[in-house]
Amino acid sequence: MKFECRVLSIKERDKLFEEIKNQVNSTDIGAKKVSEKGTHLNILVKDLKPIAANILKQEMLSLGADCIVAKGALDLTIDRCNVILTGNLKQYRLLSPKLKLQPFGLKTLGKEINQTIRNFFKDEFILLSKDREIKLKKEKTYIMGILNVTPDSFSDGGKYLSTDTALKRVDEMLREGADFIDIGGESTRPGSERVTLDEELKRVIPIISEISKKFPDIPISIDTYKSKVAKEAVEAGAWIINDISGLNFDENMKNVIIQENVPVVIMHIKGTPENMQKNPTYENLINEIFSYLKKSIDLIENSGGNSENIIIDPGIGFGKTFDHNLEILNRLEEFKSFGLPILIGASRKSFIGAILNEPEPTKRIIGSLAVAAISSINGAKILRVHDIKETIQTLKVADAIRNEKCLKL
């Protein structure tokens, strides 16, 4: 007699629960228990005392899970170490009560592990912009249309410099289905030169003012790292501040965000636009991006701001090599550990051109759509793109597959 066997590739607890019910016809209680056991997570914990790492390992082993520690932790020959926990949801749920009884900060760690797991599975968000709510629903990936009012942006520089052409482009993007409009008055392409504060203000403020009058219900994002531009843009009608520096180029930016009570996109960048692509190197790419973003999130929270009013962006192409960009997209899901919406801006970028052997940005649309679909599946909530109609069609399919149903978006 032969049996039919296969490996189930279901990652989500709820979907695994339904599969168990459908395939096995088990009780709800049994399906719930197994779905928790079948949902597996590897969790990195950084900077533990070796003695705490050893206790953590023993507690994980006692639950049938595991924890890998540095070799120097066992004989206490190192001062601090990282560990990786490997277990299922049931084991992590049982871990926290055990850690409550332990010293060396493990009680706090138990709470943080639980919060990280809750963050990872969070799939709906509400952002507050003054007295307005921006709701990001579970089923949908949202589109941020790019409007560069610059003469030198890498793909569409010089096309929308006048108010009339800018308004026509916004109208076109909205008819195609854009959820946000991101307006930038200074190119941040690799090697680009900085513009003066006055010049950036002159480019963006009149256009933001006109767009907000004509399209009052569409959230406008201002792409700037200058606090004065951000403040005046919000006063002119912008809903969101999009800072490529992650609050690191202008120390007053955090104050504007808090005072104006608007969401902010904090992005990772290594270096500046002038030098960021001159041989960027990392000891550990994902670690360094994660720590950079966490520092900016903590800055907002410690300054009295709302840390849940943040969108994170790992910064594709901003101080990243070809391989770095691919690694970020492949491991994008790890950034869900913040419990914040993730934005990806990869549209038409040079790494796509390198894959396709296509030097012309406007001919990288199909490659950009592939990145959009993979980003959505891997956890991106917002995609900043040039090609609205094509991306929305792509995401309708990606979202339908991810949600296993046909969506009427």
The set of catalytic residues is 349, 384
CA 304 to chain centre: 22
SS (H, E, C) the chain: CCCCCCCCCCCCHHHHHHHHHHHHCCCHHHHHHHHHHCCEEEEEEEEECHHHHHHHHHHHHHCCCEEEECHHHHCCCCCCEEEEEEEEHHHHHHHHHHHCCCCCCHHHHHHHHHHHHHHHCCCCEEEEECCEEEEECCCCCEEEEEEECCCCCCCCCCCCCCHHHHHHHHHHHHHHCCCEEEEECCCCCCCCCCCCHHHHHHHHHHHHHHHHHHCCCCCEEEECCCHHHHHHHHHHCCCEEEECCCCCCCCCHHHHHHHHCCCEEEECCCCCCCCCCCCCCCCCHHHHHHHHHHHHHHHHHHCCCCCCCEEEECCCCCCCCHHHHHHHHHCHHHHHHHCCCEEECCCCCHHHHHHHCCCCHHHCHHHHHHHHHHHHHCCCCEEEECCHHHHHHHHHHHHHHHHCCCCCC
How many beta carbons lie within 10 A of that of residue 185, not counting itself? 24
b/e map 116-135, b = 16+ CB within 10 Å: bbeebeeeebebebeeeebe
- Find all residues with CB under 8 Å of 216, minimum gap 6, and list them: 237
Residues 344-374 as b or e (16 or more Cβ within 10 Å = b): bbbbbbbbbbeeeebeebeebbebbbebbbb
Tokens 């949902």 map to which residue? 39
